[in-house]
Structure 1
């Protein structure tokens, strides 16, 4: 079960890692077999059809994203805690779009699945 304290710490660390643009730090939160489902991948990494499997493929996708949005910065709006996951609700200040990212964790408290939802 995910505790509120873990979720709060993870969320802050996650936002800071993205704002650092350091992919090694960002990817340290994820399992090797991590899978993300996101309409942004369909745009930036078309061969994925919106589903990117495996940490190395995710690295390729996120490298493209960071290159295309060099001023990327996330601001936390809120986070929600579930039994085995967290939803992080944030604003991408570079695009002025809100995102909700729903993350599931494995037994080692690493993210193994995520789905992202965006404002229009």
Structure 2
């Protein structure tokens, strides 16, 4: 197993992800992602980035998150828990509106996030 798939490294990635968002540092967040990353969220269409709910590539991800950050000046994530598998981490957190969200982050063989999925409650 590659060193970056060690559970302690995956937990560190989850903490870094939360810290980067709370700093509102988009470039710091994007540095955690691979150039060919994919992100899926039911929030993507609302920001005008396609009905599929998926953005592909770091440039499209930057555009989507830039738009989202501009509309969410109070954005803040409170970490609830982290869950790891051999190649992924799930970041369970509460956002600034009190909503609980699970962010599934799958890593590539370089230790960068290759696939992300924001999972929101239905109710």
Unpaired runs of 5+ residues, structure 1, are: none
Cα offsets for 1:4-53 (capped at 9, x unmatched): 21122111111000011111111000000110011011212342531100
Unpaired runs of 5+ residues, structure 2, are: none
Q: How does 1:1-120 map to 2 (within 5 A)?
A: 1=1, 2-93=5-96, 95-119=97-121, 120=123
Q: CA distance change for structure 1 residues 88 and 4 in 2, over 3 Å: closer, same or farther?
A: same
Which has the larger share of helix? 1
Output the TM-score relative to the length of structure 2.
0.91
Instruction: Report the Cα distance in structure 1 between the residues aligned to 2:82 and 2:51, rounded to whole angstroms.
Output: 27
Instruction: Report the Cα distance in structure 1 between the residues aligned to 2:69 and 2:120, rounded to whole angstroms.
Output: 17
